[in-house]
Structure 1
């Protein structure tokens, strides 16, 4: 009898434990993910030994150096050059603005897409995802499942994030979700033309012998090997965690503070990432002052996790809410980086004949809960409304570009590769279809069908002239806007212009039909409110769209 009581007691205890485990499964999974993700060995900080160029510059004319500075998730209204600025203009960006004042401002500039990695691939190749197959942003193993589990639709009013387990099983490991090595990048083209090529910062196009920055044409690469801007408990950091954002929870759980050089062992960076990478960029400029170089400085700011130095946090003043103050401090660090790069070029006598380009990989994210980052445009990162794909694009080259140049015709990330190649006098690869055009040509060639395209699975967009068509399957909807009359996309003309919708839909169909399938399937579909941040509750009448990735 006693034995039976023990058995019943044990069974009851197991049931209670199982029930408790089920009730707390999210916390347990978060703990497990955190524990497994942060077991990588990271060595102490180690100085990078950059390759030194010649002691003296060769005689004769040399092609321009090219410095491309890319921010991450920076909203167009975060730049004061457009008359706005973060926190209602309280944190100006004078160094970034200087690029526009002393060079060219592209007034209608577009990211390759509304998420980061495909935009980066288009920058490097000048080709659409329908040609490369690199259509979706690589996500770390387990991210889709965890984001779907932690999406709190009871708070936001949004439908849940959909995660497709069957599709996820078909996706390669994170490091192998890369831009194919067969693609020819601008780094490879410039390297072949005698340039020394250097990458610093975020990559997000795969790693290893086929996909890494060294494999894709960069002589040297200082890589962001994880995602913290500083250690979470660093005395000099101010953190802002976003309890309403499942992506943020995943990043804090998984990310470490780590770098690697030329895909070597991990080591701790030498400071707050934006400042550390700028320190190293200045060293690269000095080391290569006597030979042409291409420097791709790919910042992580202002991407979450939101972390700022305490000095920047104090410098921006008493901004509310806390996350906006941290975000503003991150913008300040980006602007300081641009100023330091420009100063280094001047100090080394390279100022006149260096092309400096600044942009963001896509628009500001609604999931940071800051409503004005893309003002006045609708939408966010993960939508292809103007807020998701309109980006700053400034180009300074004193030897060639007159100060205060303003370019009104549409320009895009897709155009940077052929523009850089032309400036360097380097031929484009034969027998490779390049979709971009040279933005610096006296008479830029016309685009095919006068059109720019965007595509993420079933969500497809084309801009032809001043007209922009968006079509998606979830929800099944069509939007048509005349951007000349309605740049903020308030009036949907699809029902009034059926002939135009049909013609532009045919363009989208032809674009997709002429291309290839994605390299791997999308695994999640994320609901996004077009006009509200994730910190705001969605209600009846609010327009939603799903982002497939």
Structure 2
């Protein structure tokens, strides 16, 4: 949304929980704000999760012309309740017509309504659709779960059904894009934001770890880009180094503008559209001064400082017998933090599954990586993670999660 690493925005320690007055600071310009300067209409449908304790941190104050969705990071897919509060809005108003409707269907229906109201011949559109799927809690209409009746593990069965429901929703939106003529000059980006939660139906094999960790299984995401007209090279697998912060300058490049100087993101349009070599040779996974851990990638090497987080094994797909494949180990119920080594070093090109810590074998590489990490740490913005504020309680806002308490 900004082109900056979390440790440069103060959001590196944890996600923004409902009662915590955390937020993306207002001094950071967002992608929709930049696109509005270029004359785009900007719409958002789905999950915000960048702070809501004050109205100025909510979507329609951060560059979006309209917002339909929820402020928090997770909620019930049907009731749209998180804890003691209802959380679904249309712009700034509580949106109760969403009651009982499955979240992906609401998002798709609203997206289609927006597409019907925009003239692709005369208007430039940025439509941001952060779907709730396939985030916990695991919920899906039964017809999608039945597709995977051969899967005996219920969590995995529901998870797969959620993927199918999401796929159908995206397909319905894409059909309208084509019918209304948007495809003549459109770039469609579909991307994940982190690895899967193996404790909630997901699977990252053969990668190590899970969501919330610094392992590849927790941080490596999949994306695809589609366009009828804008890509010079198509139908290929891009294996270059691209970071999530790179979407900001890349999409601005496609729109015809340059990002502000000094951001962490890099323009990847040539890399994506032509399969040229990535200009990026290194990146920061995260730097968390509260957890006292960090990880960086430089070339083929990855350095982890401190604990990489819980869920540090290799988690197999569940079987009927609940047995594990030989060589793949891990306990999805074990939340213990492994702090056995201060530094770990992996060659991600040769060992993408992070089986072999080579820190003792290459102490000179470790030292160089430590020096590079120290350079990155110099620009760290202290984590903004205050304690929960009782003024956030939904009982003060007619049973809803609402701005107005920070």
Question: Per the shorter chain, which TM-score range?
Answer: 0.7 to 0.9
Pick aligned residue for 1:312 from 120, 124, 144: 144
Shift of 1:361: 1.6
Distance change in 2, residues 1:500/1:225 (3 Å): closer
- Alignment of structure 1 residues 223-372 onto 2, 5 Å: 223-225=69-71, 227-231=75-79, 254=83, 258-269=87-98, 271-290=101-120, 291-368=123-200, 370=201
Distance change in 2, residues 1:502/1:522 (3 Å): farther
Alignment correspondent of 1:425: 256
Shift of 1:353: 1.4
Distance 1:341 1:278 in 2: 6
Alignment correspondent of 2:51: 206
Shift of 1:317: 2.5
Pick aligned residue for 1:177 from 22, 30, 34: 22
Alignment correspondent of 2:238: 407
**Structure 1 position 134 matched with structure 2 position 11:** yes
Q: Is residue 10–residue 382 contact of structure 2 (8 Å, CA) maintained in 1?
A: yes
Q: Is residue 214–residue 221 contact of structure 1 (8 Å, CA) maintained in 2?
A: yes
Distance 1:439 1:352 in 2: 22
Distance 1:308 1:367 in 2: 17
Q: Is residue 186–residue 230 contact of structure 2 (8 Å, CA) maintained in 1?
A: no
Q: Is residue 48–residue 71 contact of structure 2 (8 Å, CA) maintained in 1?
A: no
Shift of 1:229: 0.5
Q: Is residue 229–residue 257 contact of structure 1 (8 Å, CA) maintained in 2?
A: no
SS of 2:342 mapped into structure 1:
strand
**Structure 1 position 519 matched with structure 2 position 384:** yes
* CA RMSD after TM alignment: 2.2
Alignment correspondent of 1:470: 304
- Bigger relative contact order (CA 8 A; separation at least 6): 1
SS of 1:358 mapped into structure 2:
strand
Q: Is residue 301–residue 347 contact of structure 2 (8 Å, CA) maintained in 1?
A: yes
Distance 2:112 2:86 in 1: 22
- Alignment of structure 1 residues 397-546 onto 2, 5 Å: 397-401=227-231, 402-429=233-260, 432-441=261-270, 446-447=279-280, 450-455=281-286, 456-457=288-289, 458-472=292-306, 475=339, 476-520=341-385
Structure 1: segments with no counterpart, 5+ residues: 1-123, 142-173, 233-251, 524-549
437-446 or 398-407, which deviates more: 437-446
SS of 1:298 mapped into structure 2:
coil
Distance 2:277 2:26 in 1: 29
Report how many residues are paired.
342
Distance 2:285 2:207 in 1: 18
Distance change in 2, residues 1:185/1:343 (3 Å): same
Distance 1:478 1:344 in 2: 51
Which structure has the bigger radius of gyration? 1
Shift of 1:522: 8.8
- CA deviations 1:167-214 (Å, max 9, x no partner) are xxxxxxx3x311011100111000110000011110000123321111
Shift of 1:274: 0.6
Q: Is residue 437–residue 445 contact of structure 1 (8 Å, CA) maintained in 2?
A: no
- CA deviations 1:57-88 (Å, max 9, x no partner) are xxxxxxxxxxxxxxxxxxxxxxxxxxxxxxxx
Q: Is residue 462–residue 468 contact of structure 1 (8 Å, CA) maintained in 2?
A: yes
